[in-house]
């Protein structure tokens, strides 16, 4: 795979791997690459695109195939990315402070790292949107459909806000330590009570901040060594306790079992991409849920974060031994060098694959059948090939300029 990216030769990767200081926590880099990779493949698996005479339908396989919600308890790994972000932001803030650099320098560095590849992505898609509008004048659906690939931007917007308040959260962590995540959990529960018990839905968006700040704050405890110093039984309790509470919460009749949204047609309805907002029963299964645990997040995502972080801590030692080997570590370095580009463009690759399959009449509408699962494999492989081509073009812009040796 490394040969596909000529700007990042194996010799350069080997050089970076050899220069890795012993103090670097390789596991954090692995978790970052792992979480985004799982998100990408997960989107390719669960996103079902149906194109017919009535227009475009974007559905979730989790809402169509009974029992697949179980997989979301393992594969909804976005909390791990915020957890890793918390670690990275605290370590970087401390590093800037030791060098005597202001907080503004940290914020500028982080913002540029996020916004540079994002601005390129938006620029390309703005051009495509204008082109589609001109080519399909009088039919706005193709142009509107292109907006669906902008889905990844919600996460980047939230992550940018969390990063901007990281200096404040760092000071709160230094002063109040464990009380910060405790208060964030309490606030999340209060928002859910107002939303579900008192029927005041307007407060639900507040959990976007509370839930993701909680995951981010746990990363501070990993950065300062608190999580590592916990005994193994505490990590086991964190893992099993999180799962037990998640089972309890999703069986009280308030929260859905899926940790991802299953009503993926909402955006299509908003954009008027197809005529009827009601899915025919022949297409939609019984798993389509009216409430999402992710949009906005509920206390279930807090509990999910606890079990995922606990499991990550239990796997840390064996995976660190694996990452000490050169080849796995080189692969992690390569993945992290294009992590933003990978995330931003993966739905674009999927959209191109979907259009190609539509043109050749490839696809099984009987979602969940053995044939459909076999075709999913083809869908994923083709999307991956297209994404690799996109990475060859755009990933270079994500990496900082390499300084020339004097």
Residue 137 has a pLDDT of 74
Residue 377 has a pLDDT of 92
Report the distance separating Cα 275 and Cα 141, nearest Å.
11
Residue 375 token pair? 């075709």
Indicate the pTM of the whole model.
Answer: 0.88
Residue 138 has a pLDDT of 63
Residue 324 has a pLDDT of 93
Residue 116 token pair? 């540079």
Question: Which SS3 state, helix, strand or coil, does residue 350 take?
Answer: helix
Residue 267 has a pLDDT of 43
Residue 167 has a pLDDT of 96
Report the distance separating Cα 395 and Cα 393, nearest Å.
6
Report the distance separating Cα 28 and Cα 319, nearest Å.
11
Neighbours of 134 (CB within 10 A): 9
Low-confidence ranges of the chain (pLDDT < 70): 1-10, 51-56, 138-147, 263-289, 364-365, 399-406
Residue 401 has a pLDDT of 53
């Amino acid at each position: 795979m490394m040969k596909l990216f000529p700007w990042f030769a194996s010799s350069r990767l080997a050089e970076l791997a050899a220069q890795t200081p012993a103090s670097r926590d390789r596991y954090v880099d692995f978790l970052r690459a792992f979480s985004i990779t799982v998100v990408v493949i997960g989107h390719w698996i669960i996103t079902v695109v149906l194109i017919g005479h009535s227009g475009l339908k974007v559905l979730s396989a989790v809402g169509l195939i009974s029992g697949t919600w179980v997989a979301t308890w393992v594969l909804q790994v976005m909390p791990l990315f915020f957890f890793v972000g918390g670690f990275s932001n605290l370590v970087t803030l401390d590093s800037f402070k030791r060098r005597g650099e202001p907080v503004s320098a940290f914020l500028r560095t982080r913002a540029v790292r996020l916004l540079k590849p994002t601005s390129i992505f938006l620029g390309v898609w703005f051009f495509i949107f204008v082109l589609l509008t001109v080519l399909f004048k009088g039919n706005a659906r193709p142009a509107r459909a292109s907006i669906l690939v902008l889905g990844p931007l919600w996460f980047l917007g939230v992550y940018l806000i969390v990063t901007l308040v990281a200096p404040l959260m760092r000071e709160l962590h230094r002063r109040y330590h464990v009380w910060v995540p405790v208060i964030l959990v309490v606030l999340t529960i209060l928002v859910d009570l107002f939303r579900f018990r008192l029927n005041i839905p307007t407060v639900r968006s507040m959990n976007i901040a509370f839930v993701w700040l909680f995951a981010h704050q746990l990363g501070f405890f990993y950065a300062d060594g608190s999580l590592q110093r916990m005994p193994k039984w505490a990590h086991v309790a964190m893992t099993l306790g999180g799962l037990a509470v998640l089972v309890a919460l999703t069986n009280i009749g308030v929260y859905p079992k899926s940790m991802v949204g299953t009503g993926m047609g909402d955006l299509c309805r908003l954009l008027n991409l197809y005529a009827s907002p009601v899915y025919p029963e022949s297409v939609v299964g019984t798993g389509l849920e009216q409430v999402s645990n992710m949009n906005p997040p509920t206390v279930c995502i807090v509990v999910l974060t606890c079990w995922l972080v606990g499991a990550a801590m239990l796997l840390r030692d064996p995976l660190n031994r694996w990452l000490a080997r050169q080849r796995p570590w080189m692969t992690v370095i390569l993945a992290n060098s294009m992590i933003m580009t990978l995330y931003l463009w993966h739905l674009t690759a999927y959209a191109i694959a979907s259009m190609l399959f539509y043109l050749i009449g490839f696809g099984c509408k009987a979602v969940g059948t053995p044939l459909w699962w076999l075709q999913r494999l083809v869908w994923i492989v083709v999307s991956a090939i297209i994404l690799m081509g996109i990475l060859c073009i755009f990933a270079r812009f994500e990496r900082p300029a390499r300084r020339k040796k004097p």
